[in-house]
Amino acid sequence: MKQTTIAKRVEGVGIGLHKGLPIKIALEPLEADSGIIFFRSDLGTSFRAEPKNVVNTQMATVVGNEKGYVSTIEHLMSAISGYGIDNLRIVLDANEVPVMDGSSISFCMMLDEAGIKQLDADKKILVIKKEVIVREGDKYVCVRPSKNPKFDYTIKFENPIIGEQSYTFEFSKKNYVEKIARARTFGFLKDVQKLNSMGLALGGSLDNAVVIDDTRILNPEGLRFEDEFVRHKILDAIGDLSLLGTKMIGDYEAFAGSHDLNHKLTLEILSSAENYELVTLGEKEAAELEEAFA
C-alpha cells in the first residue's frame, strides 16, 4: 500500500469562527514523507501537524511556532485522516481554519474535487501495542490494540437536550463520510454570548454550529443525526489523533474527552516505544488491514 497526496490544488473561502472574517484556504499536493504541513501565506511561515507543535488546546486544537499559529484545525485534520491522506500542504491567509458549516463535510468535498494520488513510497502506520490511557477526574481517553480501528465515545451533559450519548464508529472512509463528517460542532447560547463579549466566536452562527439553550435547539432545521453531539466529538477525536503523523491502528475510547486530553494522549503514546510500533505496509500487511483503509 502506497502513501497518498491529492491529485491537484483546490481552493475555498470560509468564515473564521473567532474573528468572523473571510479566510482563503488552499490544499496542495506534497511529495512522499512530507506529512501534513500548514503554511501561513500572510506570514511566510509553515509548521507540521504533529504533537510537538500543538500550542493550545483550550477551545480548539492549535498548532504553531514562534512566528505564528493556526487555530481550529481539528475538522480539517479529521477529513484528511478520514480520507487516508498522508501528505498535504494547507495554505491559509489567517490564523484559523475556516469553520465552514461546523462539520468536516466541506473539507471532504474539497478532497473529492482534488482527487487522491498514490505516491511511489510505502504507507507507514502507527500500530498500538498496549493500552495507553489519560485520566482527569472521571474523564478519560485511551487507545488499545486492534486491527479494525473503532472510536467508542460517551458524553454526558446536565443539559437535557444532550444528556448522555454513546456512539461506536468503525473506521473506514465510507463510514466516515456517511456517519461522521456531517456532524456539526455545538455550543450553548449562554457561552456564545460570553465569548462574543470577549471578542471570540464572532463568526459563530446557526449556519456553522448547533446552538442550544436550556430547553431547545435553536437551529430551525434541527439535528442531522439524533446523536449528532457525540458523533461530532468523534469527528474531533479523529482530527486530534491524526497529529500522531501517521494513521493509527488501534481502538480509541473516551468518556467526556476533550482536545486537551486527546493531545495529552498523543504525547503519552509517543513517549515510549513500548506503546506503539511504526510499520511500513507491504502487500501482506495492507491486506490484513484493508478494512481500515476502505
Q: Which of the following is catalytic: 75, 232, 259, 263?
A: 259
Phi, psi (deg, nearest 5) at residue 16: -80, 135
Provide the CA 184 distance to its chain's centre, in angstroms: 12
The span from the CA of 60 to the CA of 74, in Å, is: 7
Q: How far is CA 73 from CA 7, 55, 114, in A?
A: 22, 12, 19
Q: Rounded distance, CA 121 to CA 265, Å?
A: 28
What grid cell was written down for 272?
Answer: 515510549
Q: Is 217 left (phi over 0), alpha (psi -120 to 50) or beta?
A: beta
Q: In the chain, which ranges are E strands?
A: 2-6, 10-15, 22-29, 36-40, 45-48, 54-56, 62-65, 68-70, 88-92, 116-122, 124-128, 132-136, 139-144, 150-156, 164-170, 186-188, 210-212, 247-249, 251-255, 276-280
259 catalytic? Reply is: yes
Q: Which residues are catalytic?
A: 259
